[in-house]
Amino acid sequence: MNYRHIYHAGNFADVLKHAVLARLVTYLKQKDKAFRVLDTHAGIGLYDLSSEEAQKTGEWRDGIGRLLADPVPPAVAPILAPYLEAIAALNPEGGMAHYPGSPKLTRLLMRPQDRLSAMELHPDDYETLHRLFDGDYQSRITELDGWLALGAHLPPKEKRGLVLVDPPFEEPGEYERLEKGLAKAYRRFPGGTFCLWYPLKQGAPIAEFHENLTALNIPKMLCCELTVKSDRGTTGLTGTGLIIVNPPFTLKSELDVLLPFLKDRLKQDRFASARAIWLRGEERDLPEDDDEA
């Protein structure tokens, strides 16, 4: 209950997460049929980057601030367009006064037939989020532990949708909780797209996490990671990762263009890196010593 995203809004992790989220929502819009986005850890929805909290850490300056400091190359611009157009809509006078959280970003991209269900447990953040969407018939805001939504709110009645799971990772065992949450949610909604966020930092059990996800035997599972600096000498966030289940068929090739750009634009030292790999799928990336065909 101590985590408040206002301190981190617009940082490098948000840039990757929200750029991918915008691509996923854009892909869902290719079909006329309605879809629902379920956001399990929604936050307050919209962040004032001039606030005392945002200014205290200034993390947005090394994230969205750097991204917008110079023009985006032509090869990358179409991939980032939905994300950056949503941000521009919130800042009509230019600059970066306001940054959208995942529910606001999703809502800006939705069509009239689409729906948003956003969960937030922190009572103050829930009230702020509820006020932001007050009167919006396309959005349902619920004060609820987002982990519970993976059972109670799936499958959506629209039968098409995206589930974003973006927990704060403040308690031990969150990687295991994410694995179990995905397993439960996928059983209920195997045709849905899932986007799971996780932190990269010193000591994080990433290899084990990936192995356990692979063992779930979900057919299509894509992983993308961005590290902006070395984890030596720090216990804080040095990178960010996403697991995308049932990704759009174009997403891997888009990430192969986007990630090198983000690595170069957002790197904080020479140890920055980025990768997009299949954990499971027709093009699953295998270790060099793996004998599978």
CB-CB neighbours of 76 under 10 Å: 18
Which residues have C-beta within 8 Å of that of residue 213, sequence separation ≥ 6?
179, 182, 221, 243, 279
**Starting at the edge strand that comes first in sequence, how are the strands of the sheet with 193-200 ordered?**
139-142, 115-119, 36-39, 161-165, 193-200, 239-245, 221-227, 273-280
Which residues have C-beta within 8 Å of that of residue 230, sequence separation ≥ 6?
238, 269, 271
Question: Taking phi first (over 0 means left), then psi (-120 to 50 degrees means alpha), and beta for anything else, what does residue 90 get?
Answer: alpha
Which residues have C-beta within 8 Å of that of residue 60, sequence separation ≥ 6?
9, 10, 11, 14, 49, 54, 96, 99
Active-site residue flag, 166:
yes
**What's the Rg (C-alpha) of the chain?**
18
DSSP 226-292: EE-S--TT--S--EEEEEEES--TTHHHHHHHHHHHHHHHH-SSTT-EEEEEEEESTT----TT---
Of the residues 39, 62, 125, 166, only one is catalytic, namely 166
**Which parts of the chain are beta strand (E)?**
36-39, 46-48, 98-100, 115-119, 139-142, 161-165, 193-200, 221-227, 239-245, 273-280
Cβ burial of 283 (10 Å; 0-12, 13-18, 19+) is exposed
Q: Which residues are catalytic?
A: 166
